[in-house]
Structure 1
Amino acid sequence: MYLSEAIRDPVHGLVRLERADLALIDSRPFQRLRLISQLGLTDRVYPGARHSRFEHALGTVEVTTRLLEEMRARLGLEGLLSPLSMATDEAHFHQLLRIARYVALLHDIGHPPFSHVTEKLLPEGGHEQMTRSLLDHPEISKPLTRCGEEIQSSVLRVLDPRDDELPENLRFVRSLVCGGFGADRMDYLLRDSHFLGVQYGNFDLPRILHTLLPVETDEGVRLGIERGGVLAAEGMQWARFSMFTQVYFHRTRRILDLHLIDFLREVIPGGRYPQDPEQYLRWEDSKVLGLLQQIQLDKEHAGYLDARRIMRREHHRATGDIVEGRDIDEVSQRLAVRMEELQRSDATLDPIADVVSAPPDLDAGAVLPVQDENGEVRKLGQVSALVGRLRVRPFGRIYCASKSVVSDQVF
């Protein structure tokens, strides 16, 4: 494999590419990622958050490449490939590297406009299933076919969320790219921090790269870490925890998300993105922003109020009430009581409830296998007191209409 091409990147310096990668990068599904923001409407809070899924995908390729290159240099072909039941020669290493790089490159092509924000409007299976559908697009499938049937089928299997019967080498690739300590997560934490101008998501990437390795566990071979990398792993877990609590759960970002969902339900036919890949590819941020610009001036349109709330920053404001509970159900019940009280006190408040809960994989890093000098394997959450205690309890906020929007609606 000859990485003869390079693209400048503000996070990693250079993203190295094969010439064969360019056909995939130039494809319509991949170029569309330039028009899909990484963090939705977060730029309304952090103005620098204008980065897209396009550069994140490229960054994930570079981190994936560095991970495997570092493992090969440190462990040798035998130490890296034998646990994966692969022949220990250069040809099989380059095959593994190429599969992992293509998985990294293509893992996000199914994202909807504004990324995760509007994912609930996707057909069943979310952006992962849409990614799998788009892999059959001619501009993706033809370049993959030229790489050989084994590489193509491996990429398709790793990126198929329904395929849980992967062989060891492909399970390892999936964890390497998409797992709790995978390249995807490493890149977006560093990239989001860079563009937002915050430090929360920074961690010791070089040390993690130097200590990750394939580890034998009861569930098979997984991406793990040497005992000497635990401190760096703790730092990455803390970085993700901090980004969720300080950025991704920011109150203004959350209410803008809710307004955007309500707006799109009024403007997308049927209230959901089309399932047909060709129709779906026509939906990206600029199309939605154009609709927002247009409809904020059309008082007769059902999406007028939400368009205005987003475009003129007349969004609902948080009341200051933070409702906590043991689980989502308890939070929802308490929010419902508070909402009813507000509605009785003032009918113009138009309260909106938002239940905030950590994603189910926020603590996935706690199960990262840690291998000590004697070969004993334990989970990171067992080795690290910090990681074992990182939790985000569900909580709820209530937002009420700003006076300018309420008065406009009345008069």
Structure 2
Amino acid sequence: MNLSDTVEAKSEEHNPPPTQDRVISLDDLNCGNCFDILKKKGFKDEVEKLTENGLTPSTVLDTTTEELEQCGISRPAINVLKDISEGLYTCKIVNDPIHGHFEIHPLCVKIIDTQQFQRLRYLKQLGAKYYVYPGASHNRFEHSLGVCYLAGEFVSMLRKRQPELNISDNDILCVQIAGLCHDLGHGPFSHMFDDKFLPAARPGNKIKHEQLSVEMFDFLVESNKLSSTFEKYGLTEEDRDFIKEQIADPLQKSGRYHGTRASKKGFLYEIVSNKRNEIDVDKWDYFARDCHMLGFRNNFDHIRCMKCARVLSVDGELQICFRDKEVGNLYDMFHTRNTLQRLACQHRVGNIIEAMITEAMLEADKVTSIIPGKNGEHWKIWESVDDMEVYQKVTDDIFQQILWSNDKALEKSRKILLKIQNRELYKCVGQTRRSISEKLEDEKIKEELFTILRDNNSDLTREDIVTHSVTMDYGMRDQNPIEHVRFYGKKDPKKPFKIPRNEVSNFIPENFAEQLIEIYCKKKDGKSITQATEAFKKWISKYTVSGDNSKGSEHTVSTAGTSTANSPLQNVPNQEITSHLSYD
């Protein structure tokens, strides 16, 4: 060991290990004083040496490594200074229409500047609802940036308010990255792909975008050689596992979390995707963003909600709880979700268009393989999810790819998409809502309708009828999510408790889920529409008479674009209805 090694060894011996991880957070960079950051990281003696040598926070970042070593500064402290210097120049400022100006951590910037993340620019947040609402042009890309920002804000507020939680900079950065990458696995037209196309193309093989997001995250890190970059910013392989756990849902059936942070920091899993009660920053961003782009009014205040949050011990496990006076605000949040579902996400015309796009993609897969893969080979659309290198090429552009293809094999798919372009859509001949306890499967509905058509000597075939059913709920099927939330009061902020529904308001619904069923007819001539409509009326009367549909269910029958009975906008105030620009 030479003299310089001895000096460095002694210097490190007098410096205790950093009190926190080496990660330089945005909060650190925003404090504007690198000496304060060094002290926070456990290098108080190094700061004194820098001061003795006439260096200041404004000059030390321009000092070379050799000059710092001559001052007796240890290598770990020099590395921290390097990270500070790089962070100041590589973090990005985003001007977002929803959250205003905010900064993005340098490691998040590295992730954003990859082919896999940029793919999100070509996935519409609301899928084919853009064909109904001209304002719904926003994409998964900007939503992911917003979730990243809100995730960092939320966990930073918790750390500032409750230092005893020992939330580290590592934790904050991991939560931000989870928010950034939680939607990497979405396919063409977002939820249409995993809710409609994949179940039809791969029956019995349930694949959700959360699972695909984890696989795409691994592929992103591997293909862009980012492992060393993660290590540079202080994140280990265990931290990457924690990021994936937040995306994939680590909540067990027992109601407890499992994972790398589950034992002491399980509450961190409730920030990006909260499966305990569905209150998370993913929803906060898309509520605000979707309402803004659609022209709806958003009554939920997510900033106030964050400020009223605390982490408390509930049955031996740390959970995020909210101030008791916030219970009304949280019910407003779920009402906003329901409003978006009714008026946008499950818009009748949007559902028809997504059914037609799904049909076109299924027909394309029957006759050819159009997704370019490795070594000049091509894959079918449904096969692409088996290989992330192939799947990264599958976006909303599949619509145009089929529409403008010269491949004669795609003629049937092209005709379907051309009908969408020319607004020659399938007709909705009936709509009904049922209790979720009496839920019917699509195949059973279609079989019963076809039996009625056959008995009526109808010319319509099974292929002429399209059924669409979906569960409309507050996020937890037939359960009230608020029953899974704990609150605290002003007098005793450390004592969590539940708030029964009847203590909040008599206007809160008693049922929190229903099944929406819509029937479409591909043929548009008057005879076919009449036959399909009569079959639907007979089918729905069968359940009404038998009492099977008696629990407050309602039905709508529409022919040739004219609806009777209850409108999809039935419980919406007039001022909300008139604010929508909807192209039917």
For the aligned pair, the TM-score class normalised by the smaller chain equals 0.7 to 0.9
Partner residue of 2:271? 176
Hey, what's the Cα distance between the residues in 2 that align with 1:209 and 1:248? 26
Q: Which has the higher contact order (CA 8 A, sep 6+)?
A: 1
Counterpart CA distance in 2 for 1:382 and 1:146 is 53
Deviation per CA, 1:174-216: give whole Å up to 9, x if none: 21111111000100111111111122x4411222121122232
User: Using the alignment, how far apart are the partners of 2:194 and 2:309 within structure 1?
Assistant: 32
TM-score w.r.t. length of structure 1: 0.85
Q: What does residue range 180-195 of structure 1 map to in structure 2 within 5 Å? A: 180-195=278-293
| Structure 1 residues 387 and 57, CA gap change in structure 2 (3 angstroms) | farther
Q: Distance in 2 between matches of 1:162 and 1:387?
A: 30
Within-5 A mapping of 1:2-401? 2=26, 4-73=91-160, 75-78=161-164, 81=165, 88=166, 92-120=167-195, 121-122=197-198, 124-137=206-219, 138=222, 139=224, 141-142=226-227, 143-147=229-233, 148-149=235-236, 150-161=238-249, 164=252, 165-166=258-259, 167-168=262-263, 171-179=266-274, 180-199=278-297, 201-218=298-315, 220-268=317-365, 269=369, 270=380, 272-274=382-384, 275-294=386-405, 301-322=411-432, 324-325=434-435, 326-329=437-440, 336-342=447-453, 344=456, 346-348=458-460, 350-358=464-472, 361=476, 365-366=481-482, 367-373=484-490, 374=492, 375-378=495-498, 384-385=504-505, 389=510, 391-401=512-522
8 Å CA contact 2:120, 2:139 repeated in 1: yes
Q: Does structure 2 conserve the Cα–Cα contact (< 8 Å) formed by 1:237 and 1:387?
A: no
Opposite residue 347 of structure 1, the aligned amino acid is D
- CA 1:300–1:24: 2 relative to 1, 3 Å: closer
Following TM superposition, by how much is the alpha carbon of 1:242 offset from its aligned partner in structure 2, in angstroms?
A: 1.2
Contact 1:369-1:377 at 8 Å conserved across structures: yes
Structure 2 unaligned regions, length at least 5:
1-24, 30-90, 199-204, 253-257, 370-379, 529-584
Secondary structure at the counterpart of residue 178 of structure 1: coil
Q: Is the 8 A contact 1:64 1:100 kept in 2?
A: yes
1:24-79, Cα deviation, whole Å (9 max, x unpaired): 11011111111111111111110111111000000001111221233334x2312x
Separation (CA, whole Å) in 2 of partners of 1:364 and 1:281: 37
Query: Mean alpha-carbon deviation: is it higher for 172-181 or for 266-275?
Result: 266-275
Task: Kindly provide the amino acid, as one letter, of the partner of residue 496 in structure 2.
Answer: E
Post-superposition Cα deviations, 1:313-361, rounded to whole Å, max 9, x if no partner, equal 2121111443635522288756654454356464258221212312663
Q: Alignment partner of 1:260: what SS?
A: helix
| 8 A contact 1:331–1:394 mirrored in 2 | no
Displacement of 1:113 in angstroms is 1.2
| Farther off after superposition, 55-64 or 348-357 | 348-357
Q: 3-state DSSP class of the match of 1:71? A: helix
Residues 133-157 of structure 1: per-residue CA shift (max 9 Å, x gap): 1222222743434332143232133
Structure 1: unaligned runs, 5 residues or longer: 82-87
Aligned-partner SS, 2:336: helix
Identify if the C-alpha distance between structure 1 residues 330 and 403 changes in structure 2 by more than 3 Å, giving closer, same or farther: closer
CA shift in 2, pair 1:277/1:294, >3 Å: same
1:84 alignment counterpart: none
Secondary structure of the 1:6 match is: strand
CA RMSD of aligned residues (A): 3.1
Q: How many residues matched?
A: 393
Q: Percent identity?
A: 22
Go from structure 1 to structure 2 and tell me whether the alpha carbon gap of 1:146 and 1:273 turns closer, same or farther (over 3 Å shift).
farther
Q: Structure 2 length as normaliser, TM-score?
A: 0.61
Q: Distance in 1 between matches of 2:441 and 2:188?
A: 32
Report the alpha carbon displacement of residue 379 of structure 1 after superposing the two structures with TM: 5.7
Distance 1:342 1:324, change over 3 A: farther
| Contact map agreement 1:12 1:59 (CA 8 A) in 2 | yes
Structure that is richer in helix per residue = 1
Contact kept, 8 Å, 2:453 with 2:460, in 1: the verdict is no
The amino acid of 2:388's aligned partner reads: P
CA distance in 1, matches of 2:245, 2:232: 17
Which stretch shows the higher mean deviation, 298-307 or 262-271? 298-307
Equivalent-residue separation in structure 1 for 2:321 and 2:109 (angstroms): 31
